[in-house]
Structure 1
């Protein structure tokens, strides 16, 4: 009987240690394994400048914009005096016909398409540079 009592006490003590040390039946173990997955990180919206910064059309367009008065009236993603470049890009498909038509408007000036404030003429701008400017603007699609 002494042997059975010692064996019983040893089994009880072992069971208590298993439970207190994280053995089966521990509710904290099941809670940690069923925790909710981490929420996915929100998609970071990048600017059009960042999106196209390495594109040769973008690089050439920025160079031409700096040489001319375009930033006085236009910004890439925000309307100031004239429409944003992104708004122009959204309105017109990038076709050779549109490039030619819009380049002509840049050189000759225009009024009425975007409101009553006229875009001044840029007669000193070459047709090739005007087309490069238009290609740059039309690249800036969101």
Structure 2
């Protein structure tokens, strides 16, 4: 059963538009994180880059998705879990990047290590990205 995108958008105090619904549905249907280009291709319709960018920013601000930075300065987005709210993300899990299929997964059950900073440093965010081979790729035997 598909999630009701209109209800999710309304609960987040966002206007319900066909574009927002299609983009949100992509996240609901995805097992991994999505890049801007994945969203451009995945909606099946033409949305300009600015509309997609603004939609993603609104979703991040409302706690619907979170940002996953990468080492190549690109950004991916993943669906937030129930703990995230407007302006307050609880993104304390590890992100895993598969070196074969290049899919980025949120490993919600793997908690980021606690970071102890020197006095006078103020921590705002911890980002942990692990790389390796995902379970799907590990199951495929290479010739």
TM beyond 0.5: no
Q: Which has the higher contact order (CA 8 A, sep 6+)?
A: 1
TM-score interval, smaller chain = under 0.3
Give the alignment's TM-score, normalised by structure 2: 0.23
User: Which has the larger helix fraction?
Assistant: 1
User: Which has the larger strand fraction?
Assistant: 2
